[in-house]
Amino acid sequence: MPTKKSSYFFDEEFRLEKLSTKNDPFEKLNKYIDWEHFRPELNGVFEKEANL
């Protein structure tokens, strides 16, 4: 039976650094897309799911 890997404090930071060294395409997208524009729509979706 597989075990869940423990998560450590800096795991995400290390993962993001690793992606960055491999030319993460999302870094390029972040320069052109204002992700906050999508927040109201996403919040509405998550609120509906929480009320199910």
Residue 4 resides in a domain: no
Residue 10 resides in a domain: no
Residue 28 resides in a domain: yes
Residue 39 resides in a domain: yes
The pTM is what?
0.43
Nearest to 15 by CA among 30, 1, 5, 3: 5
Residue 45 resides in a domain: yes
Q: What's the pLDDT score for residue 36?
A: 94
For the chain, the domain total comes to 1
Domain of 39, in residue numbers: 18-50
**Widest CA span in the chain:** 43
Q: What is the pLDDT along the chain (52 residues), one digit of tens a residue?
A: 455 666 677 788 888 888 888 888 888 898 999 999 999 998 888 777 677 6
Q: What's the pLDDT score for residue 52?
A: 66
Residue 12 resides in a domain: no
